[in-house]
Amino acid sequence: MLKILFNPFLFFFTTTLVAQTFQQRYTDVGKIGLMISNVGTIGRPNVQNNTSGPPSMEYPINSGVEHLFESGLWIGARVNGQTLVSTAAIDNPSGYSTGGAGYEFTASGGITEKSKLSSSNVYSSNAISHQDFITNFTDKNVIVPGTTIPIQEHTNPLGAQVHLETYTWNYSFADYFVICNYTITNTSSNKWDSVWLGNWSDLVVRNVNVTQETGTAFYNKGGGGFSPNYSALYAYEVLGDDILFTQSYGALQFLGIKWRGKYFHPNNDSLFSKNGLPSPKVNGNFWDYRSATSQFPYPGDDPSRYYKMANGLDFTSSIVNNELKVASNKTQLLSAGPLVSMLPGESITYVCAFVCAKQIGGPIDNASSRKELEEHLSWAKRTYLGEDLNENGALDAGEDLNANNLLDNYILPEPPATPKVKVVTHDGSIDLYWNAAAEASIDPISKKKDFEGYRVYRTNTGDDKKGNLFENLKLLQQWDSIGNKIGFNNGFDNISLSQPMQFEGDSVLYYYHYKLENMLNGWQYMIVVTSFDKGDEALGIPSLESSFTEDAKQIFTGTDINPFDKSDEKEVGVYPNPYSINAAWDGSSSRTRKMYFTNLPAKAEITIYTAAGDVVVNLLHDTGSGAVGNDIGWYKNFSTVKNVVFPGGEHAWDLLSQNKTGITQGLYLFTVKDFQTGEMRRGTFAIVK
């Protein structure tokens, strides 16, 4: 079926929908960009049509590799003899719409954010993760609040109030998942019996920056599977015009339910069976999109939806698994239950995770290709369980890692602090400086200062055009402590400064320096400096590395600022010159080209003329304001990280005229006027095919 992705409500983070405010926020602190809303939907369905907008479920962020059309919470129960299911999202060709069938939750407020990162402007001592989003929504309304718009096919709500908190981290071992912690309260006067909880999802794995396929062809290339060991459904791309640029898994994982003081999970079945309670089950379902006649039919009403929640597919069947490996357009449902009942006023917490990982070895699905996915699912599970090492929901001897006499979830070992990096660019070289805060870090679990060393990573020239800089980072250098069995034992003498450096306007003291030489001007490099620790073998904690995303830099080398004066002999340059369409770093469109002017003063005007003397374009260069040509299309497509470092004496141009039309081949003249000295420089360049 064709999914029509135009949805005017999804073009903005916040849009007024009559009396209800629809709000969206997306995670950006780690490598996964996941969109959530205040009406219970997850994902941005319009991402295929509006690829320059925010992500839906992108991993790595800024790569164009998306994993989700839309997802939403489902709550199913039997109430006074009726079977009811309230849904935050269902199969719908355009995604969320106000009052639309299947979108049965309405907002109870906006989305707030807090962070446990002390450097964040939303720092909070009671934050759970590096980026918490908090919102509330309810299914109790049958009419959109403040309007006369009925919510289609929603006449008998359960009366559920939902408080959602999402948690995201930037640690290198936990930056690929988002945990969704739902607190669900029965606000009705009726008891809910045989309660099932879950998430419907339409996991679709495609590279939206590469694929030319639209409509049905965009969605019918997926395969899927179920991981019983980690209670997770997953999807991947079987075939497609972008498959060489994708090779990724998107997964939805059940982590647990807290119900009447008990941890509800199949791994804790003995607690429930010995008390005469139903065994916890996790069910997985796939069905053909909006098809009621296929082998896996679409559930079109509450009784059939409840049946799907309570009865999963048999994933031990070769027939089922072989069918899931065939490219098709299937949606998914992951559900857990049954809870015997939820009384009026009773609350439970239901927790799931959205997890991404690369396919190992190419676009296939087998035990080897899922190795990284299972590692990531394992870390999501470990993060949720926290101190509950044996998964029984009780605080046992040796589990109180933070000594507060409580069983805490979301307790992670911590790597050393991410180094704070200062970059100074030059003509063909880069100076990196970083601080020493990592060496004072104490792991909250081992209670030790376990710092071991530093690593520097760098991409190669041209990696930006692959659309995934983080995945192309390569280890350049490592320095670590001497006198142990870890690492190179090469010490820090080669990078330690005799005295710490401090830069104007920067309060950080920098203790280390490393110089990268033989860099190519005009090309983009991502550079990351990390710290890592020794780990703790006795506690089963491997060596952990700090965040790759927190202080990643995208760097361009080039000439320094060159003030014009009468005695100055430096000429303004242009490269490449001649410019041959297309230059090696250019994108595929006429809007993603660039060339550079060099040896510029801090503030200047660049005027480009045809050979006949007609003005083509005026460019304003201002190093102080960051106006160095970084607003052109090339950077919007290939350089989207916040921490971009440009050389002060260069200015990029997209070879477009003042009215943004392309220019023809030929000889061009230019002048550069230094605003501070009034001096002028002149030059020429050529455009050839």
DSSP 645-666: E--TT-EEE-SB-TTS-B--SE
Whether the link from the prior residue into 582 is cis, omega within 30° of 0, is: yes
More confident residue, 495 or 404: 495
Whether 531 and 577 share a structural domain: no
| pLDDT exceeds cutoff 80 at 9 | no
pLDDT value, residue 626: 85
C-beta separation of 218 from 439 below 8 A: no
- Name the band, by pLDDT with cuts 50, 70 and 90, for residue 140: very high
In a domain, 179, yes or no: yes
Q: Give the integer Cα–Cα distance in Å for 652 and 631.
A: 9
Same domain flag for 490 and 597: no
Residue 468 sits in a domain of what CATH number?
2.60.40
Judge whether 546 and 419 are in contact, CB under 8 Å. yes
Distance CA 65, CA 209 (A): 8
Please give the residue range of the domain that contains residue 601: 573-688
Are 113 and 160 in a shared domain?
yes
Question: Which residue in 444, 367, 386, 359 sits closest to 179, CA to CA?
Answer: 386
Are 133 and 182 spatial neighbours (Cβ–Cβ below 8 Å)? no
Read off the pLDDT of residues 225-284 as tens digits, 9 standing for 90 and up: 999 999 999 999 999 999 999 999 999 999 999 999 999 999 999 999 999 999 999 999
Predicted local confidence at residue 20, as pLDDT: 67
SS3 329: coil
Same domain membership, residue 200 and residue 91: yes
| pLDDT tens string 605-624 | 999 999 999 999 999 999 98
Residues 654-661 have a mean pLDDT of 94
Domain contains 29: yes
Q: How far apart are CA 560 and CA 572, in angstroms?
A: 12
CB atoms within 10 A of CB 444: 12
- Do 448 and 373 share a structural domain? no
pLDDT per residue over 172-209, tens digit each?
999 999 999 999 999 999 999 999 999 999 999 999 99
Dihedral, CA atoms, 128, 547, 168, 264, nearest 10 degrees?
A: -80
- CA–CA gap between residue 348 and residue 334 (Å, rounded): 18
pLDDT for residue 34: 98
- How confident is the model at residue 448, as a pLDDT? 87
603 and 470 part of one domain = no
End position of a domain, from candidates 339, 364, 385: 385
Listing DSSP states for 62-123 in one string gives: TS-EEEEEEEEEEEEEEETTEEEEEES--S-TT---TT-TT---EESS--EEEBS-TTSTTB
Please say whether the beta carbons of 586 and 651 come within 8 A: no
Closest to 336 (Cα-Cα) out of 182, 231, 226: 231
Q: How far apart are CA 531 and CA 515, in angstroms?
A: 18
Flag whether 295 is in a domain.
yes
Q: What is the pLDDT of residue 588?
A: 82
pLDDT of residue 576: 95
How far apart CA 371 and CA 269 sit, in angstroms, is: 27
Estimate to the nearest angstrom the gap between the alpha carbon of 640 and the chain centroid. Answer: 13
Q: Say yes or no: 447 and 334 in one domain.
A: no
Amino acid (one-letter) located at 349: T
Specify if 414 maps to a domain.
no
Q: What is the pLDDT of residue 119?
A: 86
Number of domains in the chain: 3
User: What's the confidence (pLDDT) of residue 19?
Assistant: 60
Are both 542 and 584 inside the same structural domain? no
Span 680-685, mean pLDDT?
Answer: 95
Q: Note the pLDDT tens digit of each residue in 272-330.
A: 999 999 999 999 999 999 888 788 899 999 999 999 999 999 999 999 999 999 999 99
Q: Residue 108 pLDDT > 80, yes or no?
A: yes
User: Looking at the domain assignment, is residue 563 inside a domain?
Assistant: no
Stated length of the chain: 689
Mean pLDDT of the chain: 93
Q: How far apart are CA 237 and CA 16, in angstroms?
A: 36
pLDDT-wise least confident of 4-8, 40-44, 144-148, 654-658: 4-8
Q: Flag the least confident range among 9-23, 86-100, 412-426, 549-563.
A: 9-23
* Same domain (yes/no): 470, 439: yes
Whether 593 maps to a domain, the answer reads yes
The answer on 368 and 440 residing in a single domain is no
Contact 85, 74 (CB under 8 A): yes
User: Could you say which of 334, 365, 385 is where a domain stops?
Assistant: 385
Final residue of a structural domain among 385, 407, 436: 385
Query: Does the pLDDT value for residue 401 go beyond 90?
Result: no
pTM of the complete model: 0.85
Written as six digits, the tokens of 86 are 């309230």
Q: Where residue 647 sits, what CATH number does that domain have?
A: 2.60.40.4070
pLDDT recorded at residue 2: 41
The pLDDT value recorded for residue 637 is: 84
Which pLDDT band holds residue 6 (cuts at 50, 70, 90)? very low
Query: Are residues 381 and 431 both part of a single domain?
Result: no
pLDDT above 90 covers a percentage of the chain that reads: 82
Residue closest to 284 by CA, chosen among 226, 323, 337: 226
537 and 465, same structural domain? yes
CA R_g for the chain: 28
Say which amino acid occupies 419: P
Answer whether 593's CB lies under 8 Å from 522's CB: no
Q: 567 lies in a domain? A: no
394 in a structural domain: no
Residue closest to 530 by CA, chosen among 541, 517, 519, 514? 514
Between CA 238 and CA 242, with CA 240 as vertex, the angle to 5 degrees is: 115
- On whether the CB atoms of residues 108 and 185 are closer than 8 A, the answer is no
